[in-house]
Amino acid sequence: MATTSSHRPGSESGPQIKGTCVSSVMAFLRDERTLDKVLQGVSEPHRSVFTSVIVPASWYPVESYLHLLDSVMRVYAGEGLEVCHRIGRRIIHDGLNTVYRVILKVANPQAVLKRGNMLWGFYFKNSDFSVLESRPGRVLIKVTDGGRTTRAYCKSIMGGMAETVELSGGKDPQILHPRCRVDGADSCVFEVHYS
């Protein structure tokens, strides 16, 4: 079996995404019957990340994930951002095992999002998640890492936040993105509303 270090471009010091997330994205694209087409649009060395064996417990470069989402945007022209939102939801839906689901259902969205840095750490490494403000029905979150970002990546994060709200009992999640590094902000800020 191939080791993950032989097919992961980039350094370990950059932002990393967990293999379980990558597996969820691959499953989503297989279900959509677009995996091959999306992978064809990913340039090397990033394509090799997704064509090798994905090890759920390993870490993969976020930069390669961004290239994958760029290809999703091209394949799903006109609806790419919505597809990236669905990808983010799928990652959280698939990634939370039974123990985490029980915790989420017992807690409420405000409590879960306030502890979001713990959940974030299950999925991302070398990336910071912090709660700036929290009150019932509204949580303000900041995400910072040293890598680049794209609108597609931010949309997948928004999808993950929406899924987290729903899994923890919140209704009608609305995720706004008032500050984005794509537009020159020093960090991405997300505003989570729910009932």
Task: Tell me the whole-structure pTM to 2 decimals.
Answer: 0.88
pLDDT at 149: 94
Q: Where are the domains of the chain?
A: 1-195
Using alpha carbons only, give the angle 100, 106, 107 rounded to the nearest 5 degrees. 90
Beta strands in the chain (DSSP E): 16-18, 59-61, 124-125, 127-135, 138-145, 174-179, 188-193
Mean pLDDT by 10 residues, the chain (195 residues): 38 83 95 97 94 93 96 96 97 74 70 80 90 92 90 96 90 97 95 95
Separation between Cα atoms, residue 16 and residue 112, nearest integer Å: 22
Protein fold of 1-195: H-NOX domain (3.90.1520)
